[in-house]
Each structure stands twice: as structure tokens, then as C-alpha cells.
Structure 1
């Protein structure tokens, strides 16, 4: 699979304390399919990749939070450099909520940001090809 171009809306995530209910809802509403994410599953995380009907690759994920964080949905923009983009966002009046620059093998570097109006979004850099 090739990666989208930098600055592209490239992923979304639905985080929920009821992943089975969310899977049933979105699967029925949009005919999406769900599959366990290998690296996440091996670490004990409930993370399911979401694929649209007829698509050849996932477009998002469903994160079972276990009630540890508030239910939410967030979009992610692919960037060339997570740290540099965080610095740029702060220069432009945004803020960094959290950075994950060493998430482990096979996982992308990512960060959660807020724009100057307070809207949350994510950025990520795909993991290096093996």
C-alpha cells in the first residue's frame, strides 16, 4: 500500500468504551468491515482497522478504550515530520496535547494537537517500511 501525500487527511479513529456496539452501528450504517490490527492486538490493545466496502486498504480505526478515555472521534493528517509539525502548530497559535515519538515497532509516530479555536486533531508519520 502506498501512503497518501503529506498534508492529506489520511486516517480517522473512533474511540469508544463500547467497541462492539460501535462496530455494529458503523458496519450496518456504512457497510464497513473491521479487522483486528496485528501490532495493536499483540500488545493487548483493542484496535480494529476499518475498511470501506470495495476498498483495498483500511481508512480508519476503532479503538476500544476500556473506559480509560472519553469517547471521541478524531481525524489524522499525514505529515513528513511529527516534531516539526508540532513546533509549527505552536508557532501558529495551536497547542500540542501529546506526542508519541517512539510508539514501538510497526507503529506510526503521532501527536494530538489543538487548533487556535480548541478543535482536536491528530498528525502522524507512517512507520518506516520493513
Structure 2
């Protein structure tokens, strides 16, 4: 098991106003932002996190932390069996698998798994 498994090691901020978010977090914390790609996603502090422009998809504003796991389906099943709800179904972006869930109190979080190099 990797040292990063079952630890929080990534975050994302979703916002319908990415310029305002860049200004706020840049001025308050000195964060630097990479350019947004075609899907409206850009990195924060060279990959420590990400910023999503949600204006085109109606996803609102949110902040989410991610926990890296070795078996995403087992982790999702465990979370759901303990009262979590699916917010964003499992996504395979070619490099990782990830999903967003909400805990029983409604707090959003993400789970992700590295894909093995074939």
C-alpha cells in the first residue's frame, strides 16, 4: 500500500466564477493557477489541487477533498453502506478513477484511485 493511500492528498474547488476564485485564493494564500483546459479545469499550485469552472454545467460552488484508495469500488461500497450518497458517479479520465460522495451530514468528498500502467 502506498504512503498516500487512505490519506487526503488532493482538493478541488468548483465555482461558476473562476476569475473571482483565482483572485480570492491567490490574494489570500498566494496560490498560483495553471491555465484552464477546454473542460474548464486548471491546476492549483502545480497540481496540489484543481479549480473547475462550473458555469457551463450548472454544478454550483463547492470545495471537496480527495482520499486516495487502492480499491475505489470497495471504498465506494463501504461509504454507501455507512450512509453516504453519490454526488458524481464514477469517472474514468484515462489516468485515474474518481467519484464525489456526500457523507451522512451532506459534506461532499472525493475518492480516487490511480489506474495501473498497462
Pair in the same fold by TM > 0.5: yes
Report runs of 4+ in structure 1 exceeding 3 Å deviation. 127-130
Distance 1:64 1:124, change over 3 A: same
Q: Which runs of 5+ in 2 are unaligned?
A: none
Q: CA separation of 1:4/1:45 partners in 2, compared to 1, >3 Å: closer, same or farther?
A: farther
Q: CA deviation at 1:94?
A: 2.1
Aligned to 2:19: 20
Task: Tell me the TM-score normalised to structure 2 length.
Answer: 0.84
Residue of structure 2 aligned with 1:48, choices 42, 46, 52: 42
Aligned residues: 116
RMSD: 2.1
Residues 1:89 and 2:79 are matched in the alignment:
yes
Mark the runs of 5 or more structure 1 residues left unpaired by the alignment.
Answer: 52-56
1:41-89 deviation line (CA, Å, top 9, x unaligned): 2xx21111111xxxxx421111111252111111111111211111111
